[in-house]
Amino acid sequence: MPTTSADRPGAPSRSLIQRQEAIVRANEVRVFRAELKKDLKYGRAAVQDYIRKPPELIETMKIFDLLLAVPKYGRVKVNRLLVQCRISPSKTVGGLSNRQRTELLASLRW
């Protein structure tokens, strides 16, 4: 007999309105992040500002993905930087400790 999402423990069932609100919110996050990456790419935004005080919409974004949007930072350079600062590539922007944030900002000064 197949199980439905209502049969599984843990995940609360959501109403249609709650699901629609979640979809709208997810789209807002995706659009904001895409615009941020584009702004970083073309130099209209400084990554340091977003690391120092991240807006709520990028707190769950991987730090690796954020740094990858910066010009002249490819996978190798980003990985090297994260290893130097003792930060896991899967760490989120909002999940950085004060030490990690400070070391990363110091390493990004050009």
Domains of the chain: residue spans and CATH: 16-108 (1.10.8.50)
Which pLDDT value is given to residue 4?
Answer: 57
Which pLDDT value is given to residue 14?
Answer: 87
Which pLDDT value is given to residue 29?
Answer: 96
Which pLDDT value is given to residue 71?
Answer: 94
List the pLDDT tens digit at each of the 110 positions of the chain. Answer: 555 555 556 667 889 999 999 999 999 999 999 999 999 999 999 999 999 999 999 999 999 999 999 999 999 999 999 999 999 999 999 999 999 999 999 999 75
Which pLDDT value is given to residue 8?
Answer: 59
Q: What are phi and psi of 92, to 5 degrees?
A: -90, 160
